[in-house]
């Protein structure tokens, strides 16, 4: 088995004697030593999770993609943006519906918001140095339940008013602004670390 971390082959003596669990720990340790985290492992373009990694054949190449903690944060925010788009789509579909409202129409929206809330809560532990208030998905979840109740009661005019006033005018803007501030913070940390690494490289070359 060969490993390519961000395109560069990685190996060390006696690696063939390690178990898959030990190899995974060595990979993570190598990434951590460079101030990075593993984002993806791929084999023939297919993603490998930890469980799949334990059972793939030995005679394969594994591509390992890493990112800085800040770059990983930005990638996660991209996923949050994609999930929010799904929520918006489901709300709009419910508003545009020509048939009797089915509560199942908003099940995915509830699931997406719950996932977003869990991820943001994970940021609290992963990035304790972030001093601003993290965006809170709870008001979005609560307002989505209000919207669902309006539709279930057949109050479609009130649901449209809710969409324009409460959703788009009150609860959504602070959440989106919070995501924007967090993204800007991640980008600033990435630029700062990049500058420090460049200065360290210059210092080493001078020495």
Alpha-carbon distance of 22 to 43, in angstroms, equals 19
Boundaries of every domain in the chain: 2-67, 70-196
Report the side by side order of strands in the sheet with 46-47: 8-10, 2-5, 61-67, 37-43, 46-47
Summarize the confidence of residues 165-180 as an average pLDDT.
96
Determine the pLDDT at residue 98. 60
**Strand, helix or coil at 22?**
helix
Are the CB atoms for 73 and 37 separated by under 8 Å? no
Alpha-carbon distance of 176 to 187, in angstroms, equals 17
Q: Does residue 198 register a pLDDT over 90?
A: no
Q: What is the fold of 2-67? A: Ubiquitin-like (UB roll) (3.10.20)
- pTM, rounded to two decimals: 0.78
Mean pLDDT of the chain: 88
Are the CB atoms for 142 and 170 separated by under 8 Å? no
Determine the pLDDT at residue 206. 44
């Amino acid at each position: 088995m060969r490993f390519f971390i961000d395109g560069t082959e990685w190996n060390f003596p006696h690696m063939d004697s390690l178990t898959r669990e030990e190899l995974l720990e060595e990979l993570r340790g190598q990434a951590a030593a460079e101030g990075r985290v593993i984002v993806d492992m791929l084999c023939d373009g297919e993603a490998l999770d930890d469980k799949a990694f334990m059972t793939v054949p030995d005679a394969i190449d594994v591509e390992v993609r890493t990112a800085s903690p800040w770059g990983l944060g930005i990638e996660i925010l991209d996923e949050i943006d994609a999930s929010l788009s799904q929520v918006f789509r489901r709300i709009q579909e419910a508003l545009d519906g020509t048939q009797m409202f089915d509560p199942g129409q908003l099940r995915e929206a509830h699931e997406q918001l719950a996932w977003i809330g869990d991820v943001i809560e994970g940021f609290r532990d992963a990035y304790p140095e972030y001093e601003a208030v993290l965006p809170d998905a709870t008001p979005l979840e609560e307002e989505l339940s209000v919207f669902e109740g309006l539709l279930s009661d057949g109050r479609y005019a009130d649901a449209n008013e809710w969409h324009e006033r409460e959703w788009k005018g009150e609860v959504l803007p602070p959440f989106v602004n919070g995501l924007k501030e967090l993204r800007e913070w991640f980008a600033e940390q990435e630029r700062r670390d990049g500058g420090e690494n460049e200065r360290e490289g210059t210092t080493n070359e001078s020495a």
